[in-house]
Amino acid sequence: MPITTCIFDAYGTLFDVAAAARQAASEPAFSQIKDNWPQLADHWRLKQLQYTWLRVITDAHTDFWQVTQDGLDWALEKTGVDGDPALRERLLALYWELQAYPEVPAMLKALNDAGLNTAILSNGSPDMLNAAVQSAGIAGLLDDNLSVESIGIFKPDARVYDLVGQRFGCAKDEVLFVSSNGWDAAGASGYGFTTAWVNRAGEPMDRLPWTPQHTLRDLTNIPKLAGL
């Protein structure tokens, strides 16, 4: 069946998660991370994801904001800058103001102009997602922000992907699912979606039972994959 619905992961896919550390590092008050902010950003993101998986398998769900704070605290200690409460506060504040990648607005507009459904499907809590889309100026280009908080479990549990069909009344093979996380794209592929992995960093494919059908360097060609 033709694609009717394009679903996007949020953090790292539409929104640049490294932007918070990069911005803080450019500010004179936080010169202690001027040289190692990329490592801080990488540790923060990795722990944020790892804590979602661990909370799923231990049945200890909490919202994504708590996971984000926990991941940051680990990353700050790992990089030796955990003694500055002002830095922690600034990084967390910046996470609510993440910008979209440059190609995102035009890509979403093309999908909207063609009449396709567009939405986020994210581990992020509703208030975090709403803040991000408003800050990035793309709220008017999305039909919905679907959060795992409505079911209380993180990706890649199949119940998360179920939210798409429940919201849009579409079959699995009508959905193009896009994520910068290889494991997320793989999980969605196993679920039955057509998937695109946005591999901005040029990472190896995850060794999982399923693989994404498409691998891209950015989101520019998503309308083409959707049949436009």
Token pair for 14: 């539409």
Alpha-carbon distance 42 to 49, whole Å? 11
Q: Is 126 helix (H, G, I), strand (E, B) or coil?
A: helix
Token pair for 130: 């709403």
206 catalytically annotated: no
Of the residues 9, 82, 157, 162, which is catalytic? 9
Q: 175-201 burial string, b = 16+ CB within 10 Å, else e?
A: bbbbbbbbbbbbbbbbbebbbbbbbee
Q: Is 80 helix (H, G, I), strand (E, B) or coil?
A: coil
Q: Is 65 helix (H, G, I), strand (E, B) or coil?
A: helix
Q: Nearest to residue 1, comparing CAs of 196, 121, 215, 176? A: 176
Long-range contact list for 27-34, CB < 8 A, 24+ apart? 27/90, 29/86, 29/90, 30/84, 30/86, 30/87, 30/90, 32/81, 32/84, 32/87, 33/79, 33/81, 33/87
Alpha-carbon distance 142 to 167, whole Å? 13
Phi, psi of 119 (to 5 degrees): -160, 160
Active site members: 9
